[in-house]
Copies of this chain bind each other. A is one copy, B any other.
Amino acid sequence: MGSIGHVTPQQMHFSEPLPLKSGAVLAGYTLHYETYGTLNAERSNAVLVCHALNASHHVAGTYAEQARSEGWWDNLVGPGKPLDTDRFFVIGVNNLGSCFGSTGPMHVNPATGRVWGADFPVVTVEDWVDAQARLLDRLGITQLATVLGGSLGGMQALSWTLRHPQRVRHCVAVATAPNLSAQNIAFNEVARRAIVTDPDFHGGHFYAHGVVPKRGLRVARMIGHITYLSDDAMEQKFGRALRAAELAYSTQDIEFQIESYLRHQGDKFSEYFDANTYLLITRALDYFDPAAEHGSDLARAFAAARGCQFLLVSFSTDWRFSPERSREIVKALVDNRIDVSYAEIDAPHGHDAFLLDDARYHRVVRAYFERVAQGVKNGMKQGAHQETAAGARHV
């Protein structure tokens, strides 16, 4: 297994308006993306990787002259890795509304000449998928060998099979859920309130004031971080370990290592993440609910995905998106007699496990991509051309 080595981000501008689920329309936009490996002559070996909350198009490899710049899924994607870039052409794309390059709230709204800020339209998982589909059109990719994602990225992967089923042969959705629970929404809402009520937020137009609502971002990140780790993992890693030899008996100083860790995570995050992007992305999570348009019947929703094949992976200690939530998806697929593999990995790390280098997890993903590779040799599935025409309408 080797490294991809240096990679270079690319960008593509789209001037055709993108209709959004909210009813708003984004007049034009730019997507930042990266690709690894080589698209084969049949254009049948493309894998799209969808990112989660604070990730980006930089999935794998490193940037030249930038230390510690490995992509967020570099342990999974590369030559000889479970998603093998010697065999697959892998695409990472940064979503609309992000703060990592693609058009988002930090950019100027051409209609007003002012930075979007809080006026950037609310984007959904479905909108992201539609924007990604246009990128594929431009890259000349009619059908994906696989769409892959974890957490919020898994929701996008699932959404691909519902909106563009003819363009997807396989869907790999890791540590994800068919929608957020009330508790999931609750955590998002507390994080949002922390940001929005920070006096430096200025109604989402803080850029003009030369400030950043760092206090809110810190608290939001700390809350998020607690939900990414399992109770046990936190206990193993930190327990009640103290920072100093003796207690200081202070309400504001750090006493416990876990406090130090969380504050550090919050501080780091507040230095690079955009507050409006945080609001947009947590809302995209809240809104995702493919069953809603089908009387809350997830099986009816997934009837659209017939013809796609699935791998679902969950982690035993993930209490953010628990195995039960993945099993709901599996059941909905089975109810439609859709081909689905499901792996419930006994891992101690909680939700974060999907980003970690767990041997059993990576074996499952590797084995699945072996199967996908066999399909690549045998050519595209039926019906792909019909969808090409539909997809082409977007261009």
> Are A189 and B250 in contact, CB atoms less than 8 angstroms apart?
no
Chain B residues with CB under 8 Å of A258's CB are 182, 185-186, 189
**Contact pattern, A 165-191, Cβ under 8 Å of B = 1, otherwise 0:** 000000000000001111101110110
> Are B247 and A287 in contact, CB atoms less than 8 angstroms apart?
yes
Chain B residues with CB under 8 Å of A118's CB are 251-252
Q: Would you call A272 an interface residue if the criterion is a C-beta within 8 Å of the partner chain's C-beta atoms?
A: no
Q: Would you call A215 an interface residue if the criterion is a C-beta within 8 Å of the partner chain's C-beta atoms?
A: yes
Given A190-B219, A190-B226, A218-B197, decide whether A181 and B280 contact each other with a Cβ distance below 8 A: no
**Which residue of the partner chain B has the closest CB to A284?**
B251
Chain B residues with CB under 8 Å of A226's CB are 183, 186-187, 190
Interface set of A (CB-CB < 8 Å, partner B)? 21-24, 118, 121-122, 179-183, 185-187, 189-190, 192-194, 196-199, 204, 215, 218-219, 222-223, 226, 229, 231, 234-235, 237-240, 247, 249-252, 255-256, 258-259, 262-263, 266, 276, 279-280, 282-283, 286-287, 289, 292, 319
CB-contact partner of A249 in B23, B250, B319, under 8 A:
B23
> Are B286 and A181 in contact, CB atoms less than 8 angstroms apart?
no
Counting from the closest, the 4 A-B pairs by CB-CB distance are A22-B249, A251-B279, A182-B234, A197-B215
> Are A186 and B219 in contact, CB atoms less than 8 angstroms apart?
no
CB-contact partner of A190 in B186, B222, B240, B279, under 8 A:
B222
> Are B231 and A283 in contact, CB atoms less than 8 angstroms apart?
no
Q: Give the interface centre of A194, A259, A280, A282 by most chain B CB atoms within 10 Å.
A: A194
> Are B186 and A234 in contact, CB atoms less than 8 angstroms apart?
yes
Chain B residues with CB under 8 Å of A185's CB are 240, 256, 258-259
> Are B231 and A183 in contact, CB atoms less than 8 angstroms apart?
yes
CB-contact partner of A240 in B179, B198, B237, under 8 A:
B179
Shortest CB-to-CB span from A320 to chain B, Å, is 10
Shortest CB-to-CB span from A334 to chain B, Å, is 23
Chain B residues with CB under 8 Å of A182's CB are 231, 234-235, 237-240, 256, 258
Chain B residues with CB under 8 Å of A204's CB are 252
> Are B196 and A199 in contact, CB atoms less than 8 angstroms apart?
no
Interface pairs (14), CB distance under 8 Å:
A21-B249, A23-B249, A181-B240, A182-B239, A183-B226, A183-B229, A185-B258, A186-B226, A186-B259, A187-B226, A189-B263, A190-B219, A250-B283, A251-B283
Chain B residues with CB under 8 Å of A282's CB are 251
Chain B residues with CB under 8 Å of A192's CB are 251-252
Shortest CB-to-CB span from A104 to chain B, Å, is 13
Q: Give the interface centre of A215, A239, A319 by most chain B CB atoms within 10 Å.
A: A215
CB-contact partner of A186 in B23, B255, B262, under 8 A:
B262
> Are A197 and B219 in contact, CB atoms less than 8 angstroms apart?
yes
Given A183-B235, A215-B197, decide whether A223 and B190 contact each other with a Cβ distance below 8 A: yes
Q: Give the interface centre of A190, A198, A266 by most chain B CB atoms within 10 Å.
A: A190
Chain B residues with CB under 8 Å of A262's CB are 186, 189-190
Q: How far is the CA of A231 from the CA of B283 in the complex (A)?
A: 20
- Inter-chain pairs besides A182-B235, A187-B226, 20 sampled, C-beta below 8 Å: A122-B249, A181-B231, A182-B234, A182-B239, A182-B240, A183-B226, A185-B256, A186-B258, A189-B262, A190-B222, A190-B223, A192-B251, A193-B266, A197-B215, A197-B219, A199-B199, A231-B319, A240-B292, A251-B282, A256-B286
Q: How far is the CA of A181 from the CA of B241 in the complex (A)?
A: 10
